[in-house]
Structure 1
Amino acid sequence: MNKAQLISAMSAHSELTKKESKAALSSMLAAITKSLSEGDQVQVNGFGTFALSYYPARTGRNPQTGEVINIEGANKPVFKAAKVLKESL
């Protein structure tokens, strides 16, 4: 399912128009992004938790030249599904 299909599904399951569904989805994604960028996690009961996980710096290898390179540490977004969601699948 892509974003357009998700908007259509949201519209079909609610009393919102596609335009309103698109605005609601965009607002939700913006709020999650802002919260993660501030270092907070977002917990949606019955769905799951969005959080940041720090991956430390490490060394890697360029596959074309074999040269050793340093890969910087980075915060990466992670999602952990709630037990209710896991059980429904």
Structure 2
Amino acid sequence: MNRKDLVDVVARETDLSNAQADAAVGAVISGIIDTLAKGEKVSLSGFGTFETRHRAARQGRNPQTGESIDIAASTSPAFKPATAFKRAVSDA
């Protein structure tokens, strides 16, 4: 499923036009991104939690040359599914 498919489902399930559904999906995505950018969590009951995870700086190796390289610290988004979500997917 891609964004267009999701917009179609939202439009069909809510009796919104595709333009309105696209705006709603966009608002949800923007809200999640903006909240994560502030370092806060987004918890959706029954679905899961979006959060950021910090990765410390570390040493790595270039697989082609074997040369040691420095990998900078970074922050990345993560998703932890709710138990109900995991059950629904595993029973499918």
Q: Distance in 1 between matches of 2:32 and 2:61?
A: 34
In structure 2, C-alpha distance between the alignment counterparts of 1:47 and 1:66, rounded to whole Å: 42
Measure the CA separation in 2 of the matches of 1:50 and 1:13: 24
Task: Provide the secondary structure at the position in 1 that maps to 2:66.
Answer: coil
Letter in 2 for 1:42: V
**What is the rounded CA distance, in whole Å, between the counterparts of 2:71 and 2:78 in structure 1?**
19
Letter in 1 for 2:54: Y
1:86 aligned residue: 86
Q: Matched residues in 2 for 1:78 and 1:62: separation? A: 26
Q: Which runs of 5+ in 1 are unaligned?
A: none
Deviation at 1:84, TM superposition (A): 1.3
Alpha-carbon distance, 1:35 to partner: 0.5
The amino acid across from 2:7 in the alignment is I
How far is the alpha carbon of 1:63 from its aligned partner?
Answer: 2.3
Deviation at 1:47, TM superposition (A): 0.6
Q: Which whole-Å CA distance do the structure 2 matches of 1:9 and 1:66 have between them?
A: 49
Number of residue pairs matched by the alignment: 89
Identity %, equivalent residues? 36
TM-score normalised by the chain length of structure 2: 0.90
Name the TM-score, length of structure 1 as normaliser: 0.93
Kindly provide the amino acid, as one letter, of the partner of residue 78 in structure 2: V
Other structure's SS at 2:14 match: coil
Using the TM superposition, give the Cα deviation of residue 87 of structure 1 relative to its aligned residue in structure 2, in angstroms. 1.6
CA distance in 1, matches of 2:87, 2:33: 27
Q: Does 1:61 align with 2:51?
A: no
Runs (4+) of structure 1 moved beyond 6 Å? none
Structure 2 residues not aligned, in runs of 5+: none
